[in-house]
Amino acid sequence: MAELNYDQVRTHVLNIIADIALDDDVTSIKDDLLLREQLDLDSMDFLDIVMELKKRHKIEVPQEDYPQLATMQSCVTYLTPKFNQ
């Protein structure tokens, strides 16, 4: 199977965020800025992102790695190897 590239992983992450931040516009997310500042997400919502990654993609994110999910860019960088495992 071909490996997922940046944009493909980004789409997976974006789909999850769109389902969590129901009332937010996710199309304008800037990849290098903090997600929680653009989208009104707090620590409770990051729990949901982690849960959805596990549910949809069988990807585990241990709690010490939560800071890796701070921006879209860091999310994709951190998750790409996990998607491609």
Partner 1 sequence: MTSQKVDYIVIGAGMAGLASAIRLLMFGKKVLIVEKHSIPGGLNSYYKRGKREFDVGLHALTNTVKPGEKGKPFHKILKQLRIPLENFELSPQSYSLIKFPDKTLKFTNDFNEFIESIHQQFPNDIDQFLSLVEHIKNFNEVALDNETFMAKDVVRSFIKNESLIEMIFCPLLIYGSAWENDMDFSQFVVMFKSIYFEGFARPNGGVRTIINLLTAKIESLGGEVRYKTAVTKIIEQNGAVCGVLLNNETLVECSNVLSTVGNFETKKLLNPELFVAEENIGKLSFTESIFITKEKPHTLGSDATIIFYNNRPNYLYRCPQTFIDNQSAVVCFPNNFKNDQMDEGWLRVTSMANFNLWKNLNSADKKSYLQKKEEVASENIELLKNLLPEFSGDYLFKDVFSPTTITRYTGHLGGAVYGSPDKIRSGKFPETKGLYLAGTDQGFLGIVGAMLSGISITNLYFLQNGSNE
Choice from 3, 30, 31, 55 touching partner 1 (CB under 8 A):
55
Choice from 1, 2, 23, 27 touching partner 1 (CB under 8 A):
23
* Integer Cα distance of 53 and 71 in angstroms: 16
Tell me which residue has tokens 């009332």: 23
CB 70 within 8 A of CB 34: yes
Q: Does residue 65 touch partner 1 according to CB under 8 A?
A: no
CB 10 within 8 A of CB 35: no
Ramachandran angles phi, psi of 71, nearest 5°: -120, 165
Q: For residues 1 and 22, which CB has a smaller minimum distance to partner 1 in the complex?
A: 22
Handedness of CA 23, 10, 83, 43 (dihedral sign): negative
Q: Does residue 48 touch partner 1 according to CB under 8 A?
A: yes
Instruction: Output the smallest distance, CB 72 to partner 1, in A.
Output: 18
Q: Does residue 28 touch partner 1 according to CB under 8 A?
A: no
Candidates 6-14, 25-33, 45-53, 76-84; binding stretch for partner 1 (CB under 8 A): 45-53
